[in-house]
Amino acid sequence: LAGESLRSLAAKRDFLIGTAVKPQPLQDEPTYREVVAREFNIIIPENHTKFSRLHPERDRYDFTQADAIVQFAKEHDIKVIGHALAWFHALPRWVVEGNFSREELMEILHDHIQTVVDHYRGQIYAWDVVNEPVEANGSLRETIWYKTIGPEYIDLALRWTREADPDTLLYINDYAEGLNSKSQSFYNLAKELRQRGAPLDAVGFQTHVGFLSSDNSEEVAENMKRYAELGLEVMITEMDVPIDQFSGTPEEQLEAQAKMYQDFLKVCLDASNCNTLVMWGFTDRHTWLTGFTGSKDPLIFDKSYQPKPAYHAMWEEL
Ligand code: XIL
């Protein structure tokens, strides 16, 4: 099996294995580029398809950096996921401070979705249409979209995305993976959307293990099953696993991390409705957690791009 990568092993079983990517290291670090192209068959721009990046002013879109990522993907035959059309973070000031009426904000969201989804029509495997719609207490999150447009902003966003690109997979995304009140609400939302005939194909489980998300892979497996019964796919969309949540020596921590990656991969491989696992980066050199929680080394390659036990564990599982 020498010469095999995660990507080549995944391809043999029609599985999508991926990472979030940033344009800067993609441009500046040849090793970053090489590893992405060798190991992954799907990528998500970590920040550059968010609202504020693509649409910095009401009458101005900027696709430069997202285009560079999509172009890289095309050259290496890698699929791309777009993230995220309607979210409460990463909004430009002109949206947040605009004091728009319901009609105006609907027009703004419609224009945004139409323009962005049309720009990438035919080039995006799946769109994260609504990110983090549910609050920890189970109610719909009171975002600017929710408060101004009403709960139907979710149905509308899904419909507008489908209209702009009929051939891409549409999903809602949240950290609601285990079995708890939040994941129950996320499930109820998905179920109601299906019952109302909204164009929803899948749900995303962010899977920031031990930070926002459950570390209980058995619960995650259970949860996946009930989405299968609704006819919905599940994708693992942002997996990372900081090692400081595990006790023991550094070697033991790395082994526990490896087991977590392997367990979650196995859950997805074993489920009838999961064929995608994307990590929120791949090298500990570039992880959002450094700035956010200070959590340590959550990914499968170390800072020098050497594979960690977690890489080998996933390789074995594939
Ligand atoms: C994070 C990025 O990784 C950071 O670089 C950025 O500063 C903030 O957003 N859930 C999501 C992602 O859906 O978009 C977030 O990404 C991480 C949590």
Look-up of token digits 């344009």: 23
Nearest CA to ligand 1 atom 16: 46
pLDDT 10s digits, 38-72: 999 999 999 999 999 999 999 999 999 999 999 99
Q: What value, to the nearest 5°, has the Cα angle with vertex 67 and ends 307 and 62?
A: 125
pLDDT above 90: residue 1: no
pLDDT score of 79 = 98
Q: Which of 43, 50, 89 to mutate to test the pocket of ligand 1 (most atoms within 8 A of CB)?
A: 89
pLDDT above 90: residue 293: no
Count of structural domains within the chain: 1
Nearest-angstrom CA–CA distance, 41 and 18: 6
pLDDT score of 14 = 97
Q: Is residue 50 part of a domain?
A: yes
Q: Which of 21, 44, 46, 172 to mutate to test the pocket of ligand 1 (most atoms within 8 A of CB)?
A: 46
Q: Is residue 266 part of a domain?
A: yes
pLDDT score of 162 = 98
Q: Is residue 151 part of a domain?
A: yes
Is 238 labeled as catalytic in the residue annotation?
A: yes
Determine which one of 39, 132, 177, 233 is catalytic: 132
Ligand 1 centroid to Cα of residue 89, in Å, is: 9
Ligand 1 centroid to Cα of residue 47, in Å, is: 7
- Identify the residues whose C-beta falls under 6 Å from ligand 1: 46-47, 131, 206, 238, 288
Q: Which domain holds residue 123?
A: 6-317
Nearest-angstrom CA–CA distance, 110 and 286: 33
- C-alpha dihedral sign at 257, 259, 261, 267: negative
Q: Is residue 1 part of a domain?
A: no
pLDDT score of 223 = 98
Global pTM value: 0.98
pLDDT 10s digits, 75-110: 999 999 999 999 999 999 999 999 999 999 999 999
pLDDT 10s digits, 173-201: 999 999 999 999 999 999 999 999 999 99
What average pLDDT does the chain have? 97
Q: What is the 3-state secondary structure (H, E, C) of the chain?
A: CCCCCHHHHHHHCCCEEEEEECHHHHHHCHHHHHHHHHHCCEEEECCCCCHHHHCCECCECCCHHHHHHHHHHHHCCCEEEEEEEECCCCCCHHHHCCCCCHHHHHHHHHHHHHHHHHHCCCCCCEEEEEECCECCCCCECCCHHHHHHCCCHHHHHHHHHHHHCCCCEEEEEECCCCCCHHHHHHHHHHHHHHHCCCCCCEEEECCEECCCECCCHHHHHHHHHHHHHCCCEEEEEEEECCHHHCCCCHHHHHHHHHHHHHHHHHHHHHCCCEEEEEECCCECCCCCHHHHCCCCCCCCECCCCCECHHHHHHHHHC
Q: Is residue 18 part of a domain?
A: yes
pLDDT above 90: residue 114: yes
Q: Is residue 136 part of a domain?
A: yes
Ligand 1 centroid to Cα of residue 49, in Å, is: 11
Residue % of the chain over a pLDDT of 90: 95
Give the CATH number, domain containing residue 218: 3.20.20.80
Is 132 labeled as catalytic in the residue annotation?
A: yes
Q: Which of 235, 278, 280 to mutate to test the pocket of ligand 1 (most atoms within 8 A of CB)?
A: 280
